[in-house]
Amino acid sequence: MVDIMEPGLTQGNLLVTIGVVSVLVLISEKYRVLDRTGVYAAAALGITVGVLGHWTWLIILLGFLGTAHKATKWRFEEKASKGLSESSDGHRSWGNVVANGGLPGLVAIIAFLLDDHKNGIWLFSAAVSVAAADTFASEIGCLDNRVRMITTMKKCEAGLNGGFSPNGQIAALVGSSIIAILTFAAQPDLTLAVMIAIIGWLGCQVDSILGAVLENRGYMTKGTVNAAAITFGIIAMWWHLGFPHL
């Protein structure tokens, strides 16, 4: 009998991963979640995460992709009319895949090389949680008129880097909590799952601060701000785990 719970390059993990990635490609094509290059990037990322990590990690990543798409499509016409949407129809490109999934993919590679999937899943999920929190905050919070700059607390325009709103803060916690729940389903540990939700929300705040202080001044791009915030999430969870392998 094939064991599908063993991580890494095992027959069961490979079979499930290929199946899940195939479904991802079909769904992305049918519902226009990603453009064509985005589908290729997501498939490559999915194979990397599933094969080198575990297929349950891939499910966590797909949970982010699916719920983020729903958040993007939420009141999409209104966001598009205000110039707050990233594309004309709500799909995402390969750049979005790399920005949000590149570092989680790197965590999967490192976990495989170190043969430490036990800690790897929490570092991986912390990275995805930050990406989810930031996406939810941006997509939901941009339509909340109660926006203030995170560094000055003064009112500012919706969609401005560093702006935050009550609805955006709630949405950020919802996004990070979704990843926490999916991770708990894969690896039941309530304390660490709660930390995933908290770290994701905190990472969103880091993203806003960097956006206000550095991106608005041209010192960082949206991509580098995202990467820095996700890196914060990885390091925060690594610290919480006691810096394994140091």
Mean confidence (pLDDT) of the chain? 91
Q: Does 233 score more than 90 pLDDT?
A: yes
pLDDT category at 118 given cuts 50, 70, 90 is: very high
Residues spanned by the domain of 138:
11-240
What is the model's pLDDT at position 131? Answer: 96
Higher pLDDT, 196 or 4: 196
What is the model's pLDDT at position 89? Answer: 56
Q: Does 245 score more than 90 pLDDT?
A: no
149 assigned to some structural domain: yes
106 assigned to some structural domain: yes
Number of domains in the chain: 1
Q: Does 188 score more than 90 pLDDT?
A: yes
- What b/e sequence results for 143-162 when a residue is b if at least 16 CB atoms lie within 10 Å of its CB, and e otherwise? bbeebebbeeeeebebbebb
3 assigned to some structural domain: no
Q: Identify the H or E element spanning 148.
A: strand 148-149
Higher pLDDT, 91 or 186: 186
180 assigned to some structural domain: yes
The whole-angstrom separation of Cα 130 and Cα 147 is 21
Residue 95, sorted as left (phi over 0), alpha (psi -120 to 50) or beta, turns out to be: alpha
53 assigned to some structural domain: yes
4 assigned to some structural domain: no
Average pLDDT over residues 193-200: 98
Q: Does 25 score more than 80 pLDDT?
A: yes
Amino acid at 16: V
Token code pair at residue 113 = 């090389």
Residue 149 β-bridge partners: 163
205 assigned to some structural domain: yes
The whole-angstrom separation of Cα 70 and Cα 64 is 10
pLDDT digits (tens, 9 = 90+) for 75-86: 888 888 877 766
Higher pLDDT, 195 or 97: 195
pLDDT digits (tens, 9 = 90+) for 27-53: 877 777 778 888 889 899 999 999 999
Q: For the chain, first and last CA: distance in Å? A: 37
Contacts of 149 (CB under 8 A, 6+ apart): 155, 156, 160, 162, 163, 212
pLDDT category at 63 given cuts 50, 70, 90 is: very high
pLDDT category at 90 given cuts 50, 70, 90 is: low
19 assigned to some structural domain: yes
For the chain, percent of residues with pLDDT exceeding 70: 96
Average pLDDT over residues 15-31: 87
Closest CA to 100 of 220, 229, 212, 192: 229
Least confident of 88-102, 129-143, 144-158, 196-210: 88-102
